[in-house]
Structure 1
Amino acid sequence: MNTTLPLFPLHTVLFPGGLLPLQIFEVRYLDLMKRCAQSGEPFGVVCLQSGHEIRQAPRTGEAEGGRLETLASVGTLATLERIEHPQPGLMLVQARGGPRFTLHSSHVLAHGLWTGTMEVLPGDLPAAVPSELAPLRSRLQAALAAMAGQAGAPPLPAALDDPRWQDAGWLSNRWAECLPLPVAERQRLMSLDNPLWRLELVAEWLDRLERLNQN
């Protein structure tokens, strides 16, 4: 079933279950966050493949709306978890990634807010982490522990005894959030329907990055 929701295009990729911190200062998004906070409804986070996150004034001789952004075809629903108002005209927001969606169409409203018609995709089927990839659990836990306390370091996404660490889809998503990957590769991983394939690709990226660091 298709539904229409507001969109938040970003130069990043939100994975299901992931955290998204945002600093909101544009009027179009301040209004959106207020509405979502009041209604509890999600908004769609979609990767911006070209164009600007911040609305740009048209250049001389260019019509309003003549420089539209290009959006990825698969995005992630986001639900607000926390909003702070440190000063007028500024919101600090934390949102949580939910289900993925396929974006069928999109357009920009008069005040600059994107909306899209989308179809929510089913979540990953439960899949145990294969034995040959089981070390990825402890490696991610160790990497996150090593970063703990550093400015901007991601928090441990779940307690060490949380059963989600045994799930291939959840583990692959948490790795993909942390690895220094090109945005296009993050988008490709997030769009994959097969969690085992996604985890295998994460393992390949880990090996590739380790070889680069050794050279």
Structure 2
Amino acid sequence: MTEQIPIFPLNTVLFPGMPLLLHIFEPRYRLMLDRCLEEGLPVGIFLIKDGREALGPVAEPHPVGTLAHIRAVHRQGDGRSHVELIGDSRIRLVSQQTHADGYTMGECERLSEDLSALPSEPERMLFESELRRLLDLDGTVPVDPLLLCHSALRLLDLPLPEKQTILKMDHFIDRWNETERRLHQKLEYRMLAKKLSRRSDDSPELPGESLN
């Protein structure tokens, strides 16, 4: 089953359950926002595959994105808006067409989450511990493995193509395992960098020694 929704190609990857703040200023997207509010429509957030995010032809999106619901709109005096969104579910773009107002309407199908396999509680706790150590987090983090994984993906400094690859994974456990691998890798790099820095600080400078 498909549904027709407005499409917003962006230089970002939104994961289900995660927030997103948009700054809408182009006339075509102002009209799109007005329509969404009037008709109660969600928005499809897709990473740009080719093209620019703003001030040009509508960009070509990747085929898998995230359905997002509008939580709040903060209007500015000059017509611009700050829009708070929350990701709902992964979606696949089946077809698209340009609306008369200049933005894209997409025929999209929702992708179900395969939760047949989930991380164990010790695995979840280790994941959370490594995330806190890497990012020096003090506050609360989600207990739910899906939201915990997607929170990590939102916070980790990964290249957008890599985030897109992870978003496309249909089996959640694959998404979890790949995120855990990246998290552990970054933590190891950080620990190695600290170790090398300490060695450098502890090494006495020899008389006449030069690095050249």
Query: When the two structures are superposed, what TM-score results if normalisation uses the length of structure 2?
Result: 0.80
The amino acid across from 1:178 in the alignment is: L
What's the CA shift string for 1:38-91, capped at 9, x where partnerless? 3322011111012111132xxxxxxxx6xx632111111111101111322110
Residue 205 (structure 2) aligns with = none
Query: 1:129 deviation in Å?
Result: 2.7
Q: 1:104 aligns with which of 79, 83, 94?
A: 94
Equivalent pair of 2:130/2:184 in contact (CA under 8 Å): no
Query: 1:120 deviation in Å?
Result: 1.1
1:135 maps onto 2:126 in alignment: yes
Identity of aligned residues (%): 30
Residue 54 (structure 2) aligns with = 54
Q: Secondary structure at the match of 1:134?
A: helix
1:120 maps onto 2:97 in alignment: no
* Mean CA deviation greater in 14-23 or 109-118: 109-118
What's the CA shift string for 1:149-171, capped at 9, x where partnerless? xxxxxxx6xx55xxx5142x222
What's the CA shift string for 1:101-125, capped at 9, x where partnerless? 1111122234320111111111342
Partners of 1:30 and 1:129 in 2: how far apart?
A: 42
Residue 192 (structure 1) aligns with = 169
Equivalent pair of 1:104/1:118 in contact (CA under 8 Å): yes
Residue 177 (structure 1) aligns with = 154
Q: 2:143 aligns with which of 158, 165, 170?
A: 165
Query: 1:143 deviation in Å?
Result: 5.9
Query: 1:208 deviation in Å?
Result: 2.2
| Larger Rg computed on CA atoms | 2
* Mean CA deviation greater in 97-106 or 117-126: 117-126
Partners of 2:39 and 2:172 in 1: how far apart?
A: 32
Partners of 1:79 and 1:45 in 2: how far apart?
A: 10
Partners of 1:102 and 1:132 in 2: how far apart?
A: 30
Residue 206 (structure 1) aligns with = 183
The amino acid across from 1:50 in the alignment is: D
Aligned length, in residue pairs: 191
Query: When the two structures are superposed, what TM-score results if normalisation uses the length of structure 1?
Result: 0.79
The two structures, once aligned, show a CA RMSD in angstroms of 2.3
Ranges in structure 1 where 5+ consecutive residues have no aligned partner: 57-64, 149-155
Equivalent pair of 1:173/1:190 in contact (CA under 8 Å): no
